[in-house]
A and B are shown apart, each in its own frame.
Chain A
Amino acid sequence: MAIEDDVLVVGGGLAGTIAALAAADESARVRLVSYKQSTLRHASGLVDVLGYTPAGDGPLVDPFDALADLPEGHPYERVGNEAVREALSFFDGIAGDAYEGGHTDANALVPTHGGTVKPTARYPGSTAAGLASDDRDTLLVGFETLPDFEAPLAAAHLEAAGAPFVARGVTVQFPGIVRDDAKVTRYAHLLDHDEVVATATGETTARAALAETVRAHLEDETRVGFPAILGDDRADAVRADLADRLGVDVFEVPMGPPSLPGMRLEELLYAALEDAGVRVTTGVPVVDYETDDGGIERIDHVVVDRNGTEIPHRADQYVLATGGLVGKGVRSERERVFEPIFDCHVPHPADRYDWFVDDVFGDQPYARFGLPVDRELRPLDADDDLEFENLRAAGAVLGGYDFAAEKSGSGVSLATGYVAGQRAGTEAGR
């Protein structure tokens, strides 16, 4: 017999978890099935809503002002301005103190590990003290064994970008790391558990040693930024401890992939799923589906593959949140671009050489690949008819927008996940 629920969400990234939470909020019995881990762990952990218009204007001070002008078919246009605001406040409710930025409609400018700044609507607490739109002088600290972040170069870059403060960078050795290829989780673990480390002056603890190393370089700056490796499970405690020892604010510059801020956000969302009673099945792909008879096709159940055994899962409503090209919710071959589970229509030029333009940062058609949907977020076929009556799509599996250029990825996932989950939950309850 099938495993039965009211709403089945396929995909466990930002859109999928928000959809499941929104559906559970409507009192539906919800299951979330995800195959592998999601692109949340790649992303910076920032919640961008809209940083630039599709034409490239920006950085936008107020993303909501610009929403009204988005072209038809853009996911924000589909769900409408109000839904974006509702989704953000839904997220704020889930994230609580972990995220900031909800006090204003204005975007914040956050320093990136490349030394540029980027506009974002919500940012984790670990980044709050580091905003580039805050004019306090800044010391950036990099580590010799983490070559992704070259702090002195990033500081020079921030100044070139016009940041309204003096930025300085230093590169130091991370106490307690013995191999040059240690993973970021190792750095975080050392600090989370404040492990005993050996230094030139004897044994001490990781946080004390790090603070000691940095203090020697601190001048008049009132805040110190590190690459985002300051703890995982106990990141707040690590940051507070370092700030206390240094006597200045401490913040993280988002990095990734891999991204600890992204992992922390994932953790937060999965804890919320557990609290909301959402049943979570991970590590298994949805490989097929069956429809029932009737006018417009309805999905009767989907088939989950467990190492070769096929397990049917049935629900009244389905949400597809399997991600885009990176999350593999949209796949491609030499001749075609397709959605692998339900084979929903993915518009794309027939000629593969029209999938890209020659300027790497040009207006890339491939970045917009994804499903077209109606205003209920139900996927549409090539004739603009519904693919299935009871399927909605959310997040990066949607087409018609370039999240990388617009800086709109998380916002679209939140807004569409929220709307898809809420509608699915309501319908299932009827």
Chain B
Amino acid sequence: MARDTEVLVLGGGSTGCGIARDLAMRGLEVTLVERGTLTDGTTGRMHGLLHSGGRYAVSDQASATECIQENEILREIAGHCVEETGGLFVQRPEDPDDYFREKLEGCRECGIPARVLSGSEAREVEPYLADDVKRAIEVPDGAVDPFRLCVANAIDAETHGARIETRAEVVDLLRDDDDIYGVEVRHESGPGKHTHATAGTTEKITAEYVVNATGAWAGQIGAMANLEIAVRPSKGVMTIMNVRQVDTVINRCRPKGDADIVVPHETTAILGTTDEEVADPDDYPEEQWEVDAMIDTLSDLVPILAEARTIRSFWGVRPLYEPPGTGTQDPTDITRDFFLLDHAERDGVSGMASIVGGKFTTYRMMAEQISDHVCEKLGVTATCATADEPLPGSENVEILEAGMDDFGLRSPVARRSKQRLGSRARDVLETDEPNPVICQCEGVTRAEIRDGISQSGTDLNAVRIRTRASMGNCQGGFCCQTMANELHPTYDEETIREALDELFQERWKGERHALWGEQLSQAMLNYALHATTMNRDRDPASESSTVDFAAFDDGRGAQ
């Protein structure tokens, strides 16, 4: 029977996009479907750490070794998504000396370059470290932008012929006896780029092989075909600071515990995290104590955090998994390793494999192993090239960064834009038309917003993750509206209004967790701008009743 595609990948996170790229580069026909926008699940909700492996150097040396290998590969193939910040494992006076030594030895055993710094040397690297920090181990941790990395994988997969469908939720697995041969999806606004205010459709997509890369949601997909996949989703909070208090990844050097890492991420610093098992990856409490713990605990390492402004908090759900019968109680003890569940072997149901567990830094390696598995199933012999081929945007980045062209922009805006766009900078930024800055917090220009729109339609959250627009101090208070304006005239007014409302509400969702001090003032200012000045909260265009304009003052009485 002719199938719509050879391989159908479920899930648009790092694993799914990595698999789609890998297989597409091997010449396979690939379709990827994602419920929301790319990275909406766990990928877009991580702290942005590119592991050196140092974190696992004591507890899980196999993972640590994989991390340092992949870390080195990503610096090469995804240079425009990675910032080589370096990392420190910092010891406070109360932290155990034994563990410090174990960590150092562990790093060396795993091939992770490590060097010990005295307290004062560490403070020279990071001036805002606490005065009583005793010493630190320096490792090659980095910061990575998961959005950009994931999107670059998807773009490259498309370039190699893949079909990527976002806002396409799997509503059923197509199963014929013991064979899974595809899925039924509901397109929120029809296939292709998302357009608000457009009617949804459903589509059956058949495939030779289905890869369930939905992570924490893998159990829900499995259940559609009566397969039991015991994912143990575990939530963790990340609190975003308005500015970078540190430019190096700061880890607390102690056995385990909440709130032990600060990652410099783009213009911000991200504090993490907690680890609590949850029943439903879509519905779990986001709690005040978690945010407070980040600030209170991490200010032991970086005291200025206690008074600093946070702009939002978000939670991610780890797709933890352990084989049946292991019975680990504390989620922090569950392995970070990944598992490939071949349902033919495991459950006697052919046509699908599920991938669970794992971590972002090793996404490419996971994708490679799964792609190998898929090729074996399909009898394809092509080999993996993802470790050598740079991602779009990361070709010849050095040449671009060395270039003096600022595209008529102020130098910090040009610098940031080029860092985001990598080798695509010239294509996107070179224009004869006026190119004003749309998001002033993050330095994003109209040209870059329009580039994002050309990729993702009216989905302004997808534009946001591509550009960082609306991710700065004001959390979109000043730029959501201007971003939406750029949708005109391609899209009509009603569509744009819906797209704007969705983005504005999404920004509020995370900002709620930062509502005190300066961010509460910001929230009030945003509210005043949108409700008082623009009357967007009681917009007659969105209300059901009509306004009797004639009853109001028409100004003529004054004359």
Are chains A and B native binding partners rather than an unrelated pairing? yes
- Which residues of chain A are near B505, meaning CB under 8 Å? 359-360
In the complex, what residue of chain B is closest to A114 when comparing beta carbons? B534
Of A73-81, A105-113, A204-212, A371-379, the one contacting chain B is A105-113
- Among the listed B492, B512, B533, B537, which residue makes an inter-chain contact with A356, where contact means beta carbons less than 8 Å apart? B512
| Subset of 27 A-B contacts with CB under 8 Å | A43-B528, A52-B538, A59-B552, A100-B558, A101-B553, A106-B552, A108-B555, A114-B530, A116-B536, A118-B532, A133-B553, A135-B554, A144-B433, A144-B436, A145-B434, A147-B482, A161-B541, A325-B521, A328-B521, A332-B517, A332-B520, A333-B516, A334-B292, A356-B512, A361-B536, A404-B537, A407-B535
Tell me, yes or no, whether A160 is within 8 Å of chain B by CB: yes
Of A6-14, A281-289, A347-355, the one contacting chain B is A347-355
CA distance A189 to B106 in the complex (A): 65
- Which residues of chain B are near A106, meaning CB under 8 Å? 551-553
- Which residues of chain A are near B489, meaning CB under 8 Å? 152-153
Of B45-53, B453-461, B493-501, the one contacting chain A is B493-501
Tell me, yes or no, whether A140 is within 8 Å of chain B by CB: no
CB distance from A348 to the nearest CB of B (A): 11
In the complex, what residue of chain A is closest to B513 when comparing beta carbons? A353
CA distance A42 to B505 in the complex (A): 23
Q: Is the CB of A128 within 8 A of B534?
A: no
Q: Is the CB of A180 within 8 A of B436?
A: yes
Tell me, yes or no, whether B314 is within 8 Å of chain A by CB: no
Binary contact readout B537-559 vs A (1 if CB under 8 angstroms, 0 otherwise): 11111000011111111111110
Tell me, yes or no, whether A405 is within 8 Å of chain B by CB: yes
Q: Is the CB of A325 within 8 A of B520?
A: yes
Tell me, yes or no, whether B338 is within 8 Å of chain A by CB: no
Total chain B interface residues with beta-carbon distance under 8 A? 64
In the complex, what residue of chain B is closest to A129 when comparing beta carbons? B555
A133 in contact with B557 given A116-B536, A153-B488 (CB within 8 Å): no
Q: Is the CB of A153 within 8 A of B536?
A: no
User: Which among A119, A146, A352 has the highest number of chain B CB atoms within 10 Å?
Assistant: A352
Tell me, yes or no, whether A134 is within 8 Å of chain B by CB: yes
A148 in contact with B481 given A108-B554, A407-B532 (CB within 8 Å): yes
- Which residues of chain A are near B531, meaning CB under 8 Å? 361, 404-405
Tell me, yes or no, whether B329 is within 8 Å of chain A by CB: no
Q: Is the CB of B536 within 8 A of A114?
A: yes
Tell me, yes or no, whether B17 is within 8 Å of chain A by CB: no
Tell me, yes or no, whether B529 is within 8 Å of chain A by CB: yes
Q: Is the CB of A180 within 8 A of B551?
A: no
Tell me, yes or no, whether A247 is within 8 Å of chain B by CB: no
Q: Is the CB of B541 within 8 A of A109?
A: no
In the complex, what residue of chain A is closest to B505 when comparing beta carbons? A360
CA distance A153 to B500 in the complex (A): 13
Tell me, yes or no, whether A131 is within 8 Å of chain B by CB: yes
Tell me, yes or no, whether A226 is within 8 Å of chain B by CB: no
CB distance from A150 to the nearest CB of B (A): 4
CB distance from B461 to the nearest CB of A (A): 14
Binary contact readout B425-439 vs A (1 if CB under 8 angstroms, 0 otherwise): 000000001111110
Binary contact readout B312-338 vs A (1 if CB under 8 angstroms, 0 otherwise): 000000000000000000000000000
- Which 4 interchain pairs have the tightest Cβ spacing? A133-B552, A118-B535, A150-B485, A114-B534
B interface list, Cβ under 8 A from A: 288, 292, 295, 408, 410, 433-438, 446, 481-482, 485-486, 488-489, 492-494, 496-497, 504-505, 508-509, 512, 515-517, 520-521, 523-525, 527-541, 546-558
- Which residues of chain A are near B488, meaning CB under 8 Å? 150, 152-153, 156
Q: Is the CB of A361 within 8 A of B537?
A: yes
Q: Is the CB of B437 within 8 A of A109?
A: no
Q: Is the CB of A131 within 8 A of B554?
A: yes
Interface residues of A in 280-319 (CB under 8 A from B): none
- Which residues of chain B are near A328, meaning CB under 8 Å? 521
CA distance A356 to B435 in the complex (A): 37
CA distance A21 to B537 in the complex (A): 34
- Which residues of chain B are near A355, meaning CB under 8 Å? 515, 520
In the complex, what residue of chain A is closest to B494 when comparing beta carbons? A160
A326 in contact with B528 given A148-B481, A160-B494, A256-B533 (CB within 8 Å): yes
Q: Is the CB of B524 within 8 A of A367?
A: yes
Tell me, yes or no, whether A181 is within 8 Å of chain B by CB: yes
Known: A116-B540, A405-B538. 5 other contacts (CB 8 A): A114-B481, A147-B438, A326-B525, A332-B520, A361-B536
Tell me, yes or no, whether A193 is within 8 Å of chain B by CB: no
CA distance A119 to B523 in the complex (A): 23
Q: Is the CB of B288 within 8 A of A351?
A: yes
- Among the listed A145, A153, A164, which residue makes an inter-chain contact with B496, where contact means beta carbons less than 8 Å apart? A153
Q: Is the CB of B512 within 8 A of A153?
A: no
CA distance A16 to B469 in the complex (A): 37
Interface residues of A in 69-108 (CB under 8 A from B): 100-104, 106-108
Tell me, yes or no, whether A162 is within 8 Å of chain B by CB: yes
CB distance from A103 to the nearest CB of B (A): 5
CA distance A117 to B410 in the complex (A): 36
- Which residues of chain A are near B288, meaning CB under 8 Å? 351-353
Q: Is the CB of A162 within 8 A of B547?
A: yes
In the complex, what residue of chain B is closest to A45 when comparing beta carbons? B533
A58 in contact with B446 given A153-B493, A334-B516 (CB within 8 Å): no
CB distance from A327 to the nearest CB of B (A): 9
Q: Is the CB of A131 within 8 A of B555?
A: yes
Q: Is the CB of B552 within 8 A of A61?
A: yes
A117 in contact with B492 given A129-B555, A131-B554, A407-B532 (CB within 8 Å): no
CB distance from B197 to the nearest CB of A (A): 12
A134 in contact with B555 given A162-B549, A356-B512 (CB within 8 Å): yes
Q: Is the CB of A145 within 8 A of B516?
A: no
CA distance A254 to B497 in the complex (A): 20
Q: Is the CB of A119 within 8 A of B552?
A: yes
In the complex, what residue of chain B is closest to A105 when comparing beta carbons? B553
Q: Is the CB of B549 within 8 A of A133?
A: yes
Q: Is the CB of B537 within 8 A of A156?
A: no
Q: Is the CB of B494 within 8 A of A56?
A: no
Binary contact readout A390-427 vs B (1 if CB under 8 angstroms, 0 otherwise): 00000000000001110101000000000000000000
Q: Is the CB of B537 within 8 A of A405?
A: yes
CB distance from A336 to the nearest CB of B (A): 9
- Among the listed A119, A131, A160, A325, which residue makes an inter-chain contact with B524, where contact means beta carbons less than 8 Å apart? A325
- Which residues of chain A are near B434, meaning CB under 8 Å? 144-145, 173, 180
Q: Is the CB of B534 within 8 A of A113?
A: yes
Q: Is the CB of A148 within 8 A of B541?
A: no
In the complex, what residue of chain B is closest to A327 when comparing beta carbons? B521
- Which residues of chain B are near A359, meaning CB under 8 Å? 505
